[in-house]
Amino acid sequence: MGLLCLALGALVNSGWTQAKDGGATGGKGGGRRGEGGGAVPVVAASVVQKNVPIEISVVGNVEAYSTITVKAQVGGALVNVHFQEGDYVKKDALLFTIDPRPLEAQLAQLEANLQRDKALLGQAEANLARDSAQELYARDQANRYAKLFDQGIVSREQGDQLRTNANALAQSVLADKAAIESSRSQILADQAMIANAKVQLGYTSIRSPIDGRTGNLMVKQGNVVTANTSDLITINQIEPIYVTFAVPEVRLPEIKRYMAQGKLPVIAKSQDSEAQPEQGHLTFVDNNVDMTTGTIKLKGTFQNVGHKLWPGQYVNVTLRLTTQPNALVVPNQAVQSGQNGQFVYVVKEDRTVEVRPVSTGARVDQDLVIENGLDAGETVVTEGQLRLAPGSRVQLRDSRDKQGQGRGKAPG
């Protein structure tokens, strides 16, 4: 019984020492086991040098480029709907027809009034011509009688009568000129009323103000609509389209720096795993930071020719800031954390491992950029690190990581 307790105590003490040393120094106990008990099976990958995009990945949502609510600008019966709900319509396409007959009758009346006033103008002009001729004759006659009066041939009464008649005709001429001006003003008023009536009549044919997709039809054919109060349909412009997303405010200086160098690409991908990503570019940075979330709103513009992005849809957004050339990349799982920082196990030519401290950079999918500590072509352990210590001998086996298969492993 004493021997059994002693054996159990030795096993527990050995495991604690290994865990403690492994966390502090990389695991000396594991190293002794690797050296004395044969090679430790591990999965390894090569350090790859490639161009790595520096990106910000967040979740955003799709926003229509513009949204138009179509209203009736004149009242009347809705006699025709020229589209189906959900149709994609072009700009100026005919959407609705409101009964035009009351406005057509009003327009006809105004046009008749215009013709009447034009006739009155012609009459006033004729009166002016007549009265002008009579006034000229009366003035000449009064002048002749004034000379005859001076010669004592005619009486003063006859001269005064002719002079008074000439003055009366002169006032008639002034009245005719005033009548002409009044008629011309009335014609201008008639023309303005006709133009307004034609505008109102044009409102009976409601056309699409933009290219876009129609939504739910709010008023059915046959109903009576009221001017400027009845919403008929909402049209969303989806080509192009916005994708709105927010990034932490600490990334704003970096974004502004790269924006100064050129347009920044934005990639949006729907939640569907089989969907193809859409490519756009950054076009909007909000003018203030949201103090409640510590983020700032950005927008990317996408051409959306295939209409894969839909207003209100949630998408995975990637803002690409730049591309880091010739970066050293290893799988994420190769990098371990210890008391002295991050490190990796490097497989040497004699199939033993050494602990190498590293400095890491950006994370790209399943890979991690190594800023310092490794060289291109070196081999690092990606699986099996818990059984390793500096100097442990390893046996490389096939990788179970599908992402790591394309990297290749160290020679076996």
**Number of structural domains in the chain:** 2
Pair 107, 190 in one domain = yes
Residue 357 has what pLDDT?
94
Pair 91, 210 in one domain = yes
CATH number at 164 reads 1.10.132
Q: Which residues contact 403 (CB under 8 A, 6 or more apart)?
A: 331, 365, 366, 367
**315, part of any domain:** no
Query: What values do phi and psi take at 399, rounded to 5?
Result: -75, 140
What does the alpha-carbon distance between residue 229 and residue 128 come to, in Å, rounded to a whole number?
A: 51
Tokens of 93: 């396409």
Pair 180, 123 in one domain = yes
Residue for token digits 């992005």?
309
Integer CA distances (angstroms), 103 to 27, 71, 76, 87, 196, in order: 93, 18, 10, 30, 11
Pair 126, 192 in one domain = yes
What does the alpha-carbon distance between residue 345 and residue 356 come to, in Å, rounded to a whole number?
A: 6
DSSP codes joined into one string, 380-405: EEEE-GGG--TT-BEEE-----GGGT
Pair 118, 163 in one domain = yes
**381, part of any domain:** no
Residue type, 227: A
Pair 216, 195 in one domain = no
Pair 181, 213 in one domain = no
Pair 175, 227 in one domain = no
What does the alpha-carbon distance between residue 94 and residue 82 come to, in Å, rounded to a whole number?
A: 6
**375, part of any domain:** no
Pair 164, 230 in one domain = no
Q: Is 200 exposed, middle or buried (0-12, 13-18, 19+ CB in 10 A)?
A: middle
CATH number at 90 reads 2.40.50.100
Pair 78, 164 in one domain = no
The last residue of a domain, from among 189, 217, 234:
234
**79, part of any domain:** yes
**159, part of any domain:** yes
**138, part of any domain:** yes
3-class DSSP assignment, residue 5: helix
What domain range is 108 assigned to?
101-202
Residue 96 · residue 291 · CB < 8 Å:
no
**85, part of any domain:** yes
Pair 123, 107 in one domain = yes
Tokens of 109: 């009346």
Q: What is the pLDDT along the chain (412 residues), one digit of tens a residue?
A: 343 333 333 333 333 333 334 433 344 333 344 445 588 999 999 999 999 888 899 999 999 999 999 999 999 999 999 999 999 999 999 999 999 999 999 999 999 999 999 999 999 899 888 888 887 877 777 777 677 767 767 677 776 777 788 788 888 888 888 989 999 999 999 999 999 999 999 999 999 999 999 999 999 999 999 999 889 999 999 999 999 999 999 999 999 999 999 999 999 998 887 788 999 999 999 999 999 999 999 999 999 998 999 999 999 999 999 888 889 999 999 999 988 899 999 999 999 999 999 999 888 878 889 999 999 999 999 999 898 999 999 998 865 444 444 444 444 4
What does the alpha-carbon distance between residue 412 and residue 410 come to, in Å, rounded to a whole number?
A: 6
Pair 158, 105 in one domain = yes
Residue 85 has what pLDDT?
93
For the chain, the distance separating the N- and C-terminal CA atoms, rounded to the nearest angstrom, is 47
pTM: 0.64
**157, part of any domain:** yes
